[in-house]
C-alpha cells in the first residue's frame, strides 16, 4: 500500500469514526439572504410556545426574529407590514414529505422515492433523488410550509436517509438543504415492506420477518462499529508506538533495544460499508429515526427493538393507532406524526379515528405532530389541525389555537432536533414567519405572506410574489390560443 | 358520547317506525340550495320521510319539535363518486367490488357496459355510518374496469343502510378517457374514440353479434339505452380531450358529464354553451400528469363564472366525508358560498337526474337533512344530527366506538 492510498484510507476511517462531524459529503450551499428589517404590526400571534398574544408585533432583521411584543419600534429602513386582524405563526414544518422524490408529474422518469431492491437500504440518501423543480414545493410554500423533511418511501424496512430542506427555490438540492440539520433515517413497519418483498418471494413476507430484518441490520451495525472501535484503538496504539519509535530513533545511536528493530505494521481499517455506517451513526445518536408505523402493537415492538440496540426513535409517522398508546408514547418522549383523518385504505389503517391528534396530544410531555405525506395535504396542514381540534373538542379534549399550532411548528421542530432554531416566534429564532388572513384553523384561512429566514418568499398581493418551477414555465403560453 | 339530538329523537319518535310521523325542525337557518337561498329562523316540516312545509310556525301542533336554535340546516350532502359499499379496504382486493378485471390480454378487449355495479353494493359496510354521520347522505357508485375504457354502470345510493339503496333514475354509464384510458385502448387516446365508435355501431346494428365484436348481446342492449340521451360520465382532464368527448357524445346521442376536468376551465365557454356539467375536485392544483398541466385551485371559480354547472367529488371512498372541505376551499379561492353548497347538494342531484327529490330543502323533497354546529363548509364544524328520508341517523360509527373505548383511558392518564 503506497502512502497516498494509505492516507485515503485513514481519512475515510476518520470520517466513519468521527461521525456527524465529518459526514458532510454533500454540504449545504444555502445562505440566509440579506434584506432590510421587517416589522409586522398589530397581529394575533400564535408563538408556538403555547402562547397567544393579541395585537402584537414581530420584528425581523438579519434573518432572525429580533423581538416580539406590543408597540415595537421600527428600526431605520424597516418595512412595515400592517397586520391588524391578521394572525401570525411560525413557519409550518412538515416532517413527512416526498416532494422532489415523488414529484409532479408522477411519471416514471421522476419516480425516485423507493429503492425497492433490498429491504435494508440505509446506504441511500433521499437528497440524491430530490428534483428541486417539483412544483409541489411552491404550492406547499403557499400553504405556509417553510421547512420540510423529505423521506424515502416505505417499501423497505430501512429506506435510507432523509434530508431536511428549507422551502426555497434552487437549481440544486444543496441550495435548499437546511444547514446543520441532522439526518433522519426512514424505517417502516408493517404492510408495505412485507408486501413489497413477499410479492418477490423474499424476506420479509411477514411482520415477524420485518422485525428479524431490523434486528439483524442493527446487530450487523453493532458488529461493524466494534470493528471500527477496535481499529481506532489499534491505530492509536500504532501511532503511539510510532511516536515512541521516532523518539527512540533520536537516541538510536546509543540504545540497541531488540524490540525496536521489529517492523511496525499499521492496522488495516475495516472496509467502509455505507449501509452499516448509517446504522452505526443511528446507534451513536447522530442520525434520528423516523419510523412509518400504523399499529399500536408494532410501535410498541419497535420501542423494544430500539432499546435492545440502544437507539432512539424520535417519531412514529402515520401512527394511526397512536391514540391506543398515547400514554406510553408520551412517557417515552416519542413524537407521533399523524394525519387528521386518513383511514381505511389498508388493513393497518382500519382503526383510524378523527380524535387521534387530540388524544395523543393530551398527556403530559406529549409530542403530537401533523404531517402530510402528500403534495396536496402539505398545502393545508392548518386545516388538518383544525379538523382534529373540532373532533377533540366534541369529546372534551379542548385544544386552543395556541396549543394546536405546536402540532405544525414546535413539535415537528423538536422531532428534527431543530427546536433551538425554528418552530417558535422567539427572539433569536430563524425568521420563518407566516402571516395569515385570519385564524389559520379555518377552511377559509389563506397565507398572505411567508418569510423564510427573514426573506419574503411568498406574497398573495397583486401581482403575487411566488416562486415558479422551471417545469411550469411556458404553461400560460401554451394555454392561450393565438 | 351520545348525540343529544339522537336520544331525544329516538325517545319521542320511537325508533325506526318514525317515517310516517311528523316532526318539525324549528327555527333553523335553512340553506335551501335552491333559488330561495338561505332562510333565517325557519321551520322545516317533515312527514312520511318527505319535506311537506317550509316557513314560520309551520306544521301541526301535535308534531314533535326539534329546536334548532338558529343552527344551520342543509340538504344531505353528496359524497362524490365513490366505492362506498363496494370497497371496505382498498388494499385488500377481496373486499373490493368496484373494478371489473378479467385480466385479459390487451388485444382481447372486454367491453361490458351491461355491468351494473350497484348490484354489489353492501349497505352494511362500516364506511356507510362513518360517512353519513358527517352529513353525507348519498353517493354515486362509479365502477371502473381494467380491460377496457368502459367501466360499466352505477347508480346513486342513499346511505341510510337500506338494502334497496339505489335512487331511481340515476343510473349512468362510466367511461375512462385520456391517458388512463389510452393504457387499455392500444396505447393512444385516439383509439378510445375508435373503439367507442365500433361499439356504438355494434349496438345500433340489428341482429346477432359478429366475429371480433366488442359487445355481447346484453352489452348491445345496455349501450343502446345510452345512445338515446343516456347519461354518460367521462373521466377526462385535458382540455382538448374534454372538447373531443363533448362533441363525440353529442354526435352519438349521449348526455355527457365531465368527471375530473382539471383543465375544464380552459374550455369553460364551450362547456357553458353546451350545458355540459363538470364534476371536479377543487383541490387539484398539481400537474400530476401531462393531462393536467393546467390544474389550478381556481378551476371551480372560473367554471362557475363562465356559467358551467359544477359538482365536487374527491373520488375517495374512506374520505368521501371530506366533501365539505373541498367546498370550503373553493370558497376560499373565490367561489361564492352558495355555489359551493350547490356543488355538493343540488347540482350533483340535478346532474344525476335526482333534482326533483334530492339535493334541496324544498317541499316534496326527501327529508335528507343535516343540522350543523356552525358554518357547514367550515372544517371545524361538525354535524349535530343527520336525517335520511326523515329518519334520524344514530350518530355513531365503528370509529366513534373505537374512540369511546380509548378516550377515557387517555383522559385518566396524567393530564398536561
**How does pLDDT run across A112-139, given as a tens digit for each residue?**
999 999 999 999 999 999 999 999 999 9
Task: Give dist(CA B241, CA B267) in Å, integer.
Answer: 10
Region B271-279: mean pLDDT is: 98
% chain A with pLDDT above 70: 93
End-to-end CA distance of chain B: 22
Task: Tell me which residues of chain B, numbers 103 to 142, contact chain A at a CB-CB cutoff of 8 Å.
Answer: 127, 130
pLDDT at A78 over 70: yes
Task: Give dist(CA A3, CA A11) in Å, integer.
Answer: 12
What's the pTM?
Answer: 0.94
pLDDT at A374 over 70: yes
Among A180-184, A430-434, B58-62, the range scoring the smallest mean pLDDT is: B58-62
Number of Cβ within 10 Å of residue A459's Cβ equals 17
In 3D, which of B313, B293, B302 has the Cα closest to residue B241?
B293
Provide the 3-class DSSP secondary structure of residue A398. Answer: coil
The pLDDT value recorded for residue A256 is 53
In 3D, which of B367, B297, B392 has the Cα closest to residue B3?
B392
Q: Which residue of B has its CA nearest to A441?
A: B380
* Phi, psi of A403, rounded to the nearest 5 degrees: -90, -40
Domain ranges for chain A: 31-91+424-482, 92-209+274-422
- From chain B, the residues in CB contact with A391 under 8 A are 382
* A322 Cβ neighbours under 8 A, 6+ residues apart: A296, A299, A316, A329, A336, A338, A356, A359, A360
The pLDDT value recorded for residue B109 is 86
Tell me whether residues A390 and B377 touch, CB distance under 8 A.
Answer: no
Report yes or no: B416 at the A interface, CB cutoff 8 Å: yes
In 3D, which of B388, B389, B371, B387 has the Cα closest to residue B73?
B371
Task: Tell me which residues of chain B, numbers 210 to 249, contact chain A at a CB-CB cutoff of 8 Å.
Answer: none
The pLDDT value recorded for residue A260 is 52
The shortest CB-CB distance from B380 to any of A355, A364, A390 is to A390
pLDDT band at A157 (very low <50, low <70, confident <90, very high): very high
pLDDT at B46 over 80: yes
DSSP one-letter code for B160: S
Q: What is the mean pLDDT of chain A?
A: 93
The shortest CB-CB distance from B91 to any of A347, A395, A475 is to A347
Distance from CA of A7 to the nearest CA of B (A): 49
pLDDT band at A481 (very low <50, low <70, confident <90, very high): confident
Tell me whether residues A444 and B287 touch, CB distance under 8 A.
Answer: no
- Kindly report the CATH number that applies to the domain delimited by A92-209+274-422: 3.20.20.140
The pLDDT value recorded for residue A482 is 78
Report yes or no: A443 at the B interface, CB cutoff 8 Å: yes
Provide the 3-class DSSP secondary structure of residue A117. Answer: coil
| B74 touches B368 (CB < 8 A) | no
Report yes or no: A21 at the B interface, CB cutoff 8 Å: no
Region A195-222: mean pLDDT is: 98
The pLDDT value recorded for residue B415 is 59
In 3D, which of B352, B397, B301, B343 has the Cα closest to residue B74?
B343
- Helix, strand, coil percent content, chain A, rounded in steps of 5: 35, 20, 45
pLDDT band at A257 (very low <50, low <70, confident <90, very high): low
The pLDDT value recorded for residue B382 is 98
Distance from CA of A91 to the nearest CA of B (A): 21
Domain ranges for chain B: 1-76+359-416, 79-355
Region B393-416: mean pLDDT is: 90
The shortest CB-CB distance from A364 to any of B324, B400, B415 is to B415
pLDDT at A13 over 70: no
* Alpha-helix residue ranges (DSSP H) falling in A251-379: 274-283, 296-309, 326-332, 356-361
Report yes or no: B298 at the A interface, CB cutoff 8 Å: no
Q: For A457-468, what is each residue's pLDDT tens digit? A: 999 998 889 999
| A117 touches A172 (CB < 8 A) | no
In 3D, which of A48, A168, A448, A44 has the Cα closest to residue A58?
A44
Preceding peptide of A403 cis, ω within 30°: no
pLDDT at A3 over 70: no
* Phi, psi of A51, rounded to the nearest 5 degrees: -105, 150
Q: For B79-355, give the CATH class.
A: alpha beta
In 3D, which of A333, A402, A324 has the Cα closest to residue A368?
A333
Task: Give dist(CA B112, CA B100) in Å, integer.
Answer: 9
Q: What is the mean pLDDT of chain B?
A: 94
The distance of Cα A110 from the centroid of its chain, to the nearest Å, equals: 21
Provide the 3-class DSSP secondary structure of residue A106. Answer: coil
The shortest CB-CB distance from A446 to any of B90, B332, B411 is to B332
Q: Which residue of B has its CA nearest to A390?
A: B380
Residue, of B52 and B14, whose pLDDT is higher: B52
The pLDDT value recorded for residue A6 is 39
* Alpha-helix residue ranges (DSSP H) falling in B99-211: 127-132, 178-182, 190-204
Q: For B183-200, what is each residue's pLDDT tens digit? A: 999 999 999 999 999 999
* Number of helices and strands in chain A (H, E): 12, 17
* Phi, psi of A469, rounded to the nearest 5 degrees: -65, 145
Distance from CA of B263 to the nearest CA of A (A): 10
Task: Give dist(CA B96, CA B83) in Å, integer.
Answer: 8
| B31 touches B42 (CB < 8 A) | no
Task: Give dist(CA A13, CA A277) in Å, integer.
Answer: 11
% chain B with pLDDT above 70: 94
pLDDT at A441 over 90: yes
Report yes or no: B325 at the A interface, CB cutoff 8 Å: yes
Region A131-157: mean pLDDT is: 98
- From chain A, the residues in CB contact with B379 under 8 A are 383, 386-387, 390, 441-443
Tell me whether residues B382 and A364 touch, CB distance under 8 A.
Answer: no
Angle between helices A207-250 and A274-283 (to 10 degrees): 90
| A158 touches A195 (CB < 8 A) | no
Provide the 3-class DSSP secondary structure of residue B301. Answer: helix
The shortest CB-CB distance from A353 to any of B319, B321, B399 is to B399
Tell me whether residues A343 and B1 touch, CB distance under 8 A.
Answer: no
Task: Give dist(CA B136, CA A79) in Å, integer.
Answer: 48
Report yes or no: A105 at the B interface, CB cutoff 8 Å: yes
Tell me whether residues B399 and A343 touch, CB distance under 8 A.
Answer: yes
Report yes or no: B179 at the A interface, CB cutoff 8 Å: no
Provide the 3-class DSSP secondary structure of residue B131. Answer: helix
The shortest CB-CB distance from B380 to any of A106, A330, A441 is to A441
pLDDT at B166 over 50: yes
* B384 Cβ neighbours under 8 A, 6+ residues apart: B3, B5, B71, B371, B372, B373, B395
CATH topology of domain B1-76+359-416: Urease, subunit C; domain 1 (2.30.40)
pLDDT at A12 over 80: no
Q: For B284-309, what is each residue's pLDDT tens digit? A: 999 999 999 999 999 999 999 999 99
pLDDT at B18 over 50: no
- From chain B, the residues in CB contact with A191 under 8 A are 91
Which of B3, B379, B405 is best to mutate for the A interface (most A CBs within 10 A)?
A: B379
pLDDT at B148 over 90: yes
The pLDDT value recorded for residue B246 is 98
pLDDT at B16 over 70: no
Task: Give dist(CA B375, CA B403) in Å, integer.
Answer: 25
Tell which CATH architecture fits domain A31-91+424-482: Roll (2.30)
The shortest CB-CB distance from A353 to any of B289, B294, B403 is to B403
The interface predicted TM-score of the complex, written ipTM, equals: 0.95
Task: Give dist(CA A249, CA B100) in Å, integer.
Answer: 86
The shortest CB-CB distance from B287 to any of A135, A347, A396 is to A135
Amino acid at each position: 500500500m503506497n502512502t497516498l492510498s494509505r492516507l485515503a484510507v485513514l481519512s475515510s476511517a476518520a470520517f466513519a469514526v468521527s461521525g456527524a462531524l465529518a459526514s458532510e459529503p454533500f454540504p449545504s450551499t444555502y445562505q440566509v439572504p440579506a434584506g432590510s428589517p421587517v416589522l409586522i404590526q398589530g397581529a394575533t400571534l400564535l408563538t408556538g410556545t403555547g402562547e397567544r398574544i393579541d395585537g402584537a408585533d414581530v420584528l425581523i432583521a438579519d434573518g432572525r426574529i429580533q423581538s416580539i411584543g406590543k408597540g415595537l419600534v421600527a428600526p431605520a429602513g424597516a418595512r412595515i407590514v400592517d397586520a391588524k386582524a391578521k394572525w401570525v405563526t411560525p413557519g409550518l414544518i412538515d416532517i413527512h414529505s416526498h416532494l422532489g422524490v415523488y414529484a409532479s408529474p408522477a411519471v416514471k422518469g421522476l419516480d425516485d422515492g423507493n429503492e425497492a431492491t433490498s429491504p435494508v437500504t440505509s446506504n441511500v440518501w433521499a437528497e440524491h433523488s430530490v428534483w428541486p423543480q417539483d412544483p409541489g414545493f411552491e404550492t406547499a410554500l403557499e400553504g405556509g410550509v417553510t421547512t420540510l423533511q423529505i423521506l424515502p418511501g416505505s417499501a423497505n424496512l430501512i429506506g435510507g436517509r432523509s434530508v431536511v430542506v428549507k422551502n426555497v427555490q434552487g437549481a440544486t438540492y444543496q441550495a435548499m438543504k437546511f444547514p446543520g440539520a441532522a439526518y433522519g433515517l426512514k424505517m417502516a413497519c408493517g404492510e408495505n415492506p412485507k408486501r413489497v418483498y413477499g410479492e418477490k418471494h423474499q424476506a420479509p413476507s411477514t411482520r415477524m420477518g420485518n422485525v428479524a430484518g431490523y434486528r439483524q441490520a442493527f446487530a450487523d451495525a453493532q458488529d461493524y462499529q466494534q470493528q471500527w472501535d477496535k481499529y481506532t484503538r489499534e491505530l492509536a496504539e500504532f501511532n503511539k508506538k510510532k511516536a515512541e519509535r521516532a523518539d527512540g530513533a533520536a537516541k538510536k545511536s546509543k540504545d540497541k533495544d531488540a524490540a525496536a528493530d521489529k517492523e511496525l505494521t499499521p492496522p488495516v481499517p475495516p472496509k467502509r460499508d455505507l449501509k452499516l455506517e448509517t446504522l452505526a451513526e443511528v446507534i451513536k445518536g447522530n442520525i434520528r429515526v423516523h419510523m412509518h408505523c400504523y399499529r399500536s402493537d408494532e410501535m410498541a415492538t419497535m420501542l423494544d427493538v430500539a432499546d435492545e440496540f440502544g437507539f432512539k426513535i424520535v417519531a412514529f409517522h402515520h401512527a394511526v393507532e397512536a391514540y391506543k398508546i398515547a400514554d406510553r408514547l408520551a412517557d417515552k418522549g416519542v413524537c407521533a406524526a399523524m394525519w387528521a383523518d386518513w383511514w381505511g385504505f389498508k388493513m393497518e389503517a382500519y382503526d383510524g379515528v378523527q380524535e387521534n391528534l387530540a388524544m395523543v396530544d393530551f398527556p403530559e410531555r406529549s409530542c403530537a405532530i401533523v404531517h402530510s405525506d402528500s403534495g396536496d395535504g402539505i398545502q393545508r396542514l392548518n386545516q388538518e389541525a383544525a379538523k382534529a381540534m373540532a373532533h377533540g373538542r366534541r369529546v372534551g379534549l379542548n385544544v386552543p389555537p395556541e396549543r394546536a399550532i405546536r402540532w405544525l411548528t414546535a413539535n415537528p421542530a423538536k422531532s428534527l432536533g431543530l427546536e433551538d432554531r425554528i418552530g417558535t416566534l422567539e427572539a433569536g429564532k430563524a425568521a420563518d414567519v407566516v402571516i395569515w388572513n385570519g385564524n389559520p384553523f379555518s377552511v377559509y384561512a389563506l397565507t398572505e405572506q411567508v418569510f423564510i429566514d427573514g426573506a419574503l418568499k411568498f406574497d398573495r398581493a397583486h401581482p403575487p410574489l411566488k416562486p415558479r418551477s422551471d417545469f411550469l414555465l411556458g404553461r400560460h403560453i401554451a394555454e392561450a390560443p393565438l | 358520547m351520545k348525540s343529544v339530538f339522537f336520544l331525544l329523537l329516538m325517545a319521542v319518535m320511537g325508533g325506526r317506525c318514525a317515517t310516517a310521523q311528523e316532526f318539525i325542525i324549528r327555527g333553523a337557518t335553512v340553506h335551501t340550495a335552491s333559488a330561495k337561498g338561505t332562510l333565517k329562523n325557519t321551520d322545516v316540516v317533515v312527514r312520511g320521510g318527505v319535506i311537506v312545509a317550509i316557513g314560520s310556525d309551520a306544521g301541526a301542533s301535535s308534531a314533535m319539535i326539534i329546536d334548532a336554535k338558529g343552527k344551520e340546516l342543509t340538504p344531505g350532502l353528496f359524497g362524490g363518486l365513490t366505492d362506498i359499499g363496494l370497497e371496505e379496504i382498498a388494499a385488500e382486493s377481496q373486499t373490493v367490488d368496484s373494478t371489473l378485471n378479467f385480466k385479459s390480454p390487451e388485444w382481447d378487449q372486454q367491453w361490458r357496459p351491461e355491468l351494473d355495479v350497484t348490484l354489489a353494493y353492501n349497505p352494511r359496510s362500516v364506511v356507510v355510518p362513518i360517512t353519513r354521520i358527517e352529513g353525507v347522505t348519498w353517493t354515486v357508485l362509479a365502477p371502473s374496469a381494467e380491460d377496457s375504457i368502459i367501466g360499466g354502470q352505477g347508480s346513486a345510493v342513499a346511505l341510510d343502510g337500506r338494502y334497496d339503496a339505489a335512487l331511481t333514475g340515476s343510473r349512468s354509464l362510466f367511461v375512462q378517457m385520456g391517458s388512463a384510458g389510452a393504457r387499455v385502448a392500444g396505447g393512444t387516446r385516439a383509439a378510445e374514440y375508435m373503439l367507442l365508435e365500433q361499439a356504438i355501431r355494434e349496438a345500433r346494428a340489428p341482429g346477432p353479434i359478429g366475429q371480433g365484436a366488442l359487445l355481447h348481446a346484453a352489452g348491445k342492449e345496455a349501450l343502446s339505452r345510452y345512445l338515446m340521451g343516456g347519461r354518460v360520465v367521462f373521466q377526462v382532464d385535458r382540455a382538448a380531450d374534454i372538447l373531443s368527448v363533448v362533441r363525440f357524445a353529442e354526435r352519438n346521442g349521449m348526455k355527457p358529464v365531465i368527471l375530473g376536468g382539471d383543465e375544464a376551465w380552459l374550455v369553460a365557454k364551450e362547456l357553458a354553451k353546451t350545458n355540459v356539467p363538470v364534476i371536479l375536485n377543487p383541490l387539484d392544483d398539481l400537474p400530476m400528469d401531462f393531462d393536467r398541466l393546467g390544474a389550478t385551485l381556481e378551476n371551480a371559480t372560473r367554471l362557475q363564472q363562465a356559467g358551467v354547472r359544477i359538482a365536487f367529488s374527491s373520488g375517495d371512498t374512506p374520505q368521501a366525508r371530506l366533501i365539505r372541505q373541498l367546498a370550503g376551499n373553493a370558497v376560499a379561492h373565490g367561489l361564492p358560498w352558495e355555489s359551493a353548497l350547490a356543488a355538493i347538494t343540488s347540482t350533483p342531484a340535478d346532474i344525476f337526474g335526482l333534482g326533483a327529490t334530492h339535493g334541496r330543502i324544498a317541499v316534496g323533497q326527501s327529508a335528507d337533512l343535516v343540522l350543523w354546529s356552525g358554518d357547514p363548509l367550515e372544517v371545524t364544524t361538525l354535524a349535530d344530527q343527520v336525517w335520511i328520508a326523515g329518519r334520524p341517523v344514530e350518530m355513531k360509527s365503528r370509529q366513534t366506538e373505537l374512540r369511546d373505548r380509548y378516550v377515557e383511558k387517555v383522559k385518566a392518564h396524567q393530564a398536561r
